[in-house]
């Protein structure tokens, strides 16, 4: 292993530890982030790390932006802003898969998949974090009626706009780093946003939701007010982390298929 590689691996470890100390990551999340970073570096080198870092840095920025206004919404979510290992792999696990694939087989398909998964994760994160600051409650896509902020499957103009910009942000950086032509860059942007759309649909129809027996709050938490909640929607194994992983991975696979078809 060359000295440069050792220094980069050391830098990845330092960033993971810093993420824990600034409370962006839990202990398990810090370890998972280090694993994701190392896998991406092995597969795509420094350019891959820059793209991954662009996602994590921008996502953390928006997660912490006006966090005091998001306290009430966090009661509905299974987890808070501090990411654990499941959240890290939900957003970065597919990127690890395509990185390992690229390391062993090379080619353009793993690269496209890698970029789309990050564009999708960024799109979803920006939509959630920025959309929650909207003055009006979002629309629930199953009924198109106003519903409480933080509800999976809800959309707003602000959140949808943020989703588009979040995907565009990653696609432009990725296109520049890897010298992609404009057509491929646009496709990565579109499928990154499509990943967010898949996430919203799965959140509305398949993601688990519970109700607190004590206060009546609809939440993703299995325990609320120190009591076990009752499932009212979705499948038990389909939580937010599962939805995040599947939506990005599905968008990546679709993008590869479409690019192959149009040649």
Do residues 127 and 215 lie in contact, with contact meaning Cβ atoms separated by under 8 Å?
no
pTM: 0.90
Closest by alpha carbon to 131, among 71, 79, 63, 190?
63
Which residue's structure tokens are 């999976």? Answer: 152
Band of the pLDDT at 263, cuts 50, 70, 90? low
pLDDT per residue over 165-214, tens digit each? Answer: 999 999 999 999 999 999 999 999 999 999 999 999 998 899 888 878 77
Which residue's structure tokens are 């799109």? Answer: 123
pLDDT at 220 over 80: no
Strand stretches in 90-225, DSSP E? 139-140, 145-146, 154-155, 209-211, 218-219, 223-224
Band of the pLDDT at 59, cuts 50, 70, 90? confident
pLDDT at 137 over 70: yes
| Cα separation, 37 vs 48, whole angstroms | 9
pLDDT at 33 over 70: yes
Q: Tell me, what's the pLDDT at 74?
A: 57
**DSSP character string of 185-254:** HHHHHHHHHHHHHHHHHHHHHTS-EEE-TTT--EES-SEETTEE-EEEES-TT--HHHHHHHHHHHHHHH
pLDDT at 244 over 90: yes
Closest by alpha carbon to 54, among 98, 91, 82?
91
pLDDT per residue over 44-54, tens digit each? Answer: 999 999 999 99
Do residues 191 and 120 lie in contact, with contact meaning Cβ atoms separated by under 8 Å?
yes
pLDDT at 256 over 90: yes
| Cα separation, 132 vs 77, whole angstroms | 12
Residue 208 gets the label, from left (phi > 0), alpha (psi -120 to 50) or beta, of: beta
pLDDT per residue over 6-27, tens digit each? Answer: 888 888 999 888 888 887 888 9
List Cα–Cα distances, 143 to 27, 139, 232, 233, 262, in angstroms: 39, 8, 16, 14, 36
Residue with the bigger pLDDT between 151 and 142: it is 142
pLDDT at 217 over 90: no
Do residues 180 and 174 lie in contact, with contact meaning Cβ atoms separated by under 8 Å?
yes
pLDDT per residue over 118-131, tens digit each? Answer: 999 999 999 988 98
Do residues 108 and 98 lie in contact, with contact meaning Cβ atoms separated by under 8 Å?
no
Quick one: DSSP state of residue 216? Answer: -
Q: How many residues does the chain have?
A: 263
Mean pLDDT of the chain: 87
Around Cβ 85, how many Cβ atoms within 10 Å? 19
Do residues 130 and 159 lie in contact, with contact meaning Cβ atoms separated by under 8 Å?
yes
pLDDT at 68 over 70: no
């Amino acid at each position: 292993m060359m000295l440069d590689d050792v220094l980069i691996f050391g830098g990845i470890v330092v960033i993971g530890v810093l993420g824990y100390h600034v409370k962006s990551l839990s202990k398990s999340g810090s370890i998972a982030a280090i694993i994701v970073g190392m896998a991406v570096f092995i597969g795509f080198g420094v350019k891959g790390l820059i793209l991954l870092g662009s996602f994590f840095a921008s996502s953390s920025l928006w997660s912490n932006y006006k966090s005091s206004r998001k306290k009430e919404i966090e009661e509905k979510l299974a987890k808070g802003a501090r990411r654990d290992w499941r959240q890290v792999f939900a957003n970065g696990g597919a990127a690890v898969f395509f990185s390992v694939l690229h390391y062993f087989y090379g080619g353009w398909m793993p690269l496209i998949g890698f970029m789309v998964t990050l564009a999708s994760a960024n799109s979803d994160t920006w939509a959630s974090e920025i959309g929650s600051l909207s003055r009006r409650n979002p629309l629930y896509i199953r009924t198109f009626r106003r519903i409480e902020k933080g509800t999976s499957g809800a959309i707003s103009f602000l959140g949808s706009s943020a989703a588009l910009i979040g995907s565009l942000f990653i696609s432009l950086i990725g296109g520049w780093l890897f010298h992609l032509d404009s057509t491929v860059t646009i496709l990565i942007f579109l499928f990154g946003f499509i990943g967010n759309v898949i996430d919203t649909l799965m959140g509305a129809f398949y993601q688990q939701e519970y109700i607190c027996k004590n206060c009546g709050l609809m939440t993703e938490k299995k325990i609320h007010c120190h009591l076990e909640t009752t499932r009212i929607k979705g499948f038990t194994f389909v939580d937010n982390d599962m939805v995040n992983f599947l939506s990005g991975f599905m968008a990546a696979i679709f993008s590869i298929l479409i690019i192959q078809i149009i040649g």
